[in-house]
């Protein structure tokens, strides 16, 4: 009997196949990824210390994004990603930014799985209840009910993986091949041009979600060590990137997530009667990740970002205001740690255990850090930011970027559609921090949980 393949290997296989497919379908994305690769290499030449064995891989995309139209489609993707050891983390309401969707991110959960392959998929579900026209809602539901995202063979392999728990190398490769087909771009619409135009007039996302055979990947994101240099390169090489980088400003200690993208391509599509139109949906994205923030850190980040957004709509003025406001956000690890703003992993010094005994059990973490017996390192942010996601999506809706508020968060309805409770990302970062502290204290012969400050 052939040896089974691990979920981590299947996820790596899936990400590699998806990347190759998108680069083949979108030469402009391939060119962008090559630009990002050159920027990353320049950074590593100038700062060779960043070329660490435990650093996140830079030659593979860290995420992609798709949009589905119904609960049945969302459940299918949940099942498929579960085979790849990807679970739904976080709830993102984009309706407040004028987008009739809410979302989650399917991603690996553990440090080990993330090191093996960090790929994740941001999945958005259409919120039909936000469409005011009841007849149009019924029409959309009927359109979506007619399509099937997976082939019979793909469903057979999915069910085998679910029931048996493992797939052989041969079956795993076939399963990944069938899964990739779900996300392929197919430029043939499944509805008439009149239906397409009516949906597009209500909201561009309706046309993109409902008028094709499946949920094509709308973007992949290449990781970078210097997103500002990438942004300059995109402008210089005529990619027409976003006016501003989404997320926090440039900092010595990067926080959360910064993203930019080039504008969605206007691609020809064909309708059943042979008529043609141009459709904008697919684009390329770049991301740079920093340290994960605590609840307190996120609250400060959200306040500063909201203040900057309210100050100016002009790109240059907004960036200046963002830089100014974020001077209030500490920019070094020890202050971020001391003020409880960011999550850190603890490491014991290699020889510190020899100097510790039971009489020192009441030393504080701060004492251990100041004495060099304990060190901290940032825990990488692995999730997304609602305002940034909305900003990226809005910039790629063509000329008509819808910005009015459409609704409000409804996590309960999303979880009912998913058939699963989404995981709180903060609980994951908190668990990593707590486990690293426990392991470090045990290594120092100090098994008690100590207070953060003396």
Better-predicted residue by pLDDT, 54 or 136? 136
Mean pLDDT score, 292-308? 95
Among 339, 365, 394, which residue terminates a domain?
Answer: 339
62: how many CB neighbours lie within 10 A of its CB? 24
pLDDT for residue 99? 85
Better-predicted residue by pLDDT, 53 or 122? 122
Mean pLDDT score across all residues of the chain: 89
Mean pLDDT score, 231-238? 94
pLDDT for residue 97? 78
What is the band of 192 on the pLDDT scale with cuts at 50, 70, 90?
very high
What confidence tens digit (pLDDT) does each residue in 415-445 have? 999 999 999 999 999 999 999 999 999 888 8
What is the band of 55 on the pLDDT scale with cuts at 50, 70, 90?
low
Are 84 and 100 part of one and the same domain?
yes
Q: Using the predicted structure, report yes or no on whether residue 62 has a pLDDT greater than 80.
A: yes
What confidence tens digit (pLDDT) does each residue in 324-356 have? 999 999 999 999 999 999 999 999 987 655 555
Token pair recorded at residue 303: 């306040």
- Using alpha carbons, select from 106, 148, 149, 144 the residue that is nearest to residue 126: 144
- The conformation of residue 380, written as its DSSP 8-state character, comes to B
Name the percent of the chain lying above pLDDT 90.
Answer: 70
Parallel/antiparallel/unpaired status of strands 167-168 and 4-5: antiparallel
Are 388 and 358 part of one and the same domain?
no
What is the band of 390 on the pLDDT scale with cuts at 50, 70, 90?
confident
The domain tally of the chain equals 3
Are 218 and 266 part of one and the same domain?
yes
Which alpha helices (DSSP H) does 146-261 contain, by range?
A: 152-164, 169-182, 193-202, 204-210, 227-236
Are 267 and 242 part of one and the same domain?
yes
Better-predicted residue by pLDDT, 62 or 451? 62
Instruction: Decide: helix, strand or coil at residue 255.
Output: strand
Mean pLDDT score, 137-142? 94
Mean pLDDT score, 215-243? 93
Highest mean pLDDT among 345-349, 363-367, 388-392: 345-349
C-alpha distances in Å from residue 443, one per residue of 329, 350, 379: 33, 9, 20
Q: What percent of the residues of the chain are helix, what percent strand, and what percent coil, each to the nearest 5? A: 50, 15, 35
Mean pLDDT score, 43-72? 85
- The whole-angstrom separation of Cα 292 and Cα 343 is 6
447: how many CB neighbours lie within 10 A of its CB? 11
Q: Are 207 and 58 in contact (CB under 8 A)?
A: no
Q: Using the predicted structure, report yes or no on whether residue 75 has a pLDDT greater than 80.
A: yes
pLDDT for residue 401? 43
- The conformation of residue 449, written as its DSSP 8-state character, comes to -
Instruction: Decide: helix, strand or coil at residue 245.
Output: coil
pLDDT for residue 348? 92
Classify residue 250 as exposed, middle or buried by CB count within 10 Å of its CB (0-12, 13-18, 19+): middle
Are 448 and 403 part of one and the same domain?
no
Q: Are 119 and 63 in contact (CB under 8 A)?
A: yes
Are 60 and 190 part of one and the same domain?
yes
- Of 110-114, 260-264, 395-399, the one with minimum mean pLDDT is 395-399
The helix (run of H) or strand (run of E) holding residue 454 is none
What is the band of 152 on the pLDDT scale with cuts at 50, 70, 90?
very high
Longest Cα–Cα distance in the chain: 83
Q: Using the predicted structure, report yes or no on whether residue 205 has a pLDDT greater than 60.
A: yes
Mean pLDDT score, 183-190? 94
pLDDT for residue 356? 56
* Residues 6 or more apart in contact with residue 238 via CB below 8 angstroms: none
Better-predicted residue by pLDDT, 408 or 114? 114
Are 441 and 416 part of one and the same domain?
no
Mean pLDDT score, 32-47? 93
Which residues constitute the domain of residue 301?
A: 293-339
Instruction: Decide: helix, strand or coil at residue 270.
Output: strand
Are 231 and 109 part of one and the same domain?
yes
Q: Specify which residues 268 forms β-bridges with.
A: 278
Q: Are 319 and 249 in contact (CB under 8 A)?
A: yes
Better-predicted residue by pLDDT, 35 or 451? 35
Are 89 and 195 part of one and the same domain?
yes
**What distance, in Å, lies between the first and last C-alpha atoms of the chain?**
59
Q: Are 445 and 137 in contact (CB under 8 A)?
A: no
- The conformation of residue 359, written as its DSSP 8-state character, comes to G
pLDDT for residue 402? 47
pLDDT for residue 357? 56
What is the band of 454 on the pLDDT scale with cuts at 50, 70, 90?
very low
pLDDT for residue 359? 53
Q: Using the predicted structure, report yes or no on whether residue 395 has a pLDDT greater than 70.
A: no
Place of tokens 């930014």: 97
pLDDT for residue 183? 96
What is the band of 20 on the pLDDT scale with cuts at 50, 70, 90?
very high
Better-predicted residue by pLDDT, 56 or 127? 127
Are 169 and 194 part of one and the same domain?
yes
Are 207 and 273 part of one and the same domain?
yes
389: how many CB neighbours lie within 10 A of its CB? 23
pLDDT for residue 393? 72
Are 230 and 157 part of one and the same domain?
yes
């Amino acid at each position: 009997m052939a040896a089974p393949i691990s979920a981590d290997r299947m996820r790596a296989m899936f990400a590699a196949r998806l990347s190759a497919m998108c680069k083949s379908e979108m030469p402009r994305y391939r060119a962008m990824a090559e630009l990002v690769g050159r920027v990353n290499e320049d950074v590593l030449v100038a700062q060779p210390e960043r070329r660490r064995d435990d650093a996140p891989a830079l030659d593979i995309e860290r995420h992609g994004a798709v949009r589905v139209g119904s609960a049945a489609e969302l459940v299918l993707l949940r099942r498929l990603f579960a085979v790849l050891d990807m679970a739904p983390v976080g709830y993102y309401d984009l309706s407040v930014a004028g987008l009739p969707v809410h979302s989650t991110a399917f991603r690996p959960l553990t440090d080990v799985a993330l090191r093996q392959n960090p790929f994740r998929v941001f999945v958005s579900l259409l919120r039909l209840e936000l469409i005011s026209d009841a007849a149009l809602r019924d029409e959309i539901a009927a359109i979506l009910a007619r399509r099937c995202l997976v082939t019979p063979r793909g469903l057979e392999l999915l069910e085998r993986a679910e029931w048996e728990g493992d797939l052989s190398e041969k079956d795993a490769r076939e399963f990944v091949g069938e899964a990739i087909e779900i996300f392929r771009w197919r430029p043939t619409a499944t509805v008439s041009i009149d239906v397409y135009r009516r949906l597009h007039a209500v909201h561009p996302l309706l046309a993109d979600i409902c008028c094709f055979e499946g949920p094509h990947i709308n973007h992949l994101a290449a990781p970078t060590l210097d997103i500002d240099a990438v942004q300059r390169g995109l402008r210089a090489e005529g990619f027409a990137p976003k006016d501003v980088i989404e997320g926090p400003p440039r900092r010595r200690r990067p926080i959360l997530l910064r993203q930019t993208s080039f504008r969605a391509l206007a691609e020809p599509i064909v309708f059943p009667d042979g008529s043609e139109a141009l459709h904008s949906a697919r684009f390329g994205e770049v991301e740079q990740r920093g340290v994960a923030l605590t609840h307190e850190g996120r609250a400060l980040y959200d306040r500063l970002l909201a203040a900057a957004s309210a100050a100016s709509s002009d790109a240059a003025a907004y960036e200046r205001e963002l830089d100014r406001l974020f001077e209030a956000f500490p920019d070094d690890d020890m202050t971020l740690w001391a003020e409880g703003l960011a999550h850190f992993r603890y490491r014991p010094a290699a020889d510190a255990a020899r100097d510790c005994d039971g009489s020192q059990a009441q030393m504080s973490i701060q004492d251990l850090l100041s004495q060099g017996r304990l060190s901290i390192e940032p825990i990488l942010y692995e999730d997304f930011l609602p305002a940034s996601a909305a900003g990226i999506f809005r910039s790629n809706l063509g000329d008509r970027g819808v910005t009015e508020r459409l609704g409000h968060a409804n996590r309960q309805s999303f979880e009912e559609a998913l058939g699963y409770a989404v995981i709180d990302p903060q609980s994951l970062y908190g668990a990593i921090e707590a486990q690293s502290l426990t392991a470090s204290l045990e290594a120092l012969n100090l098994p008690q949980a100590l207070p953060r400050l003396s």
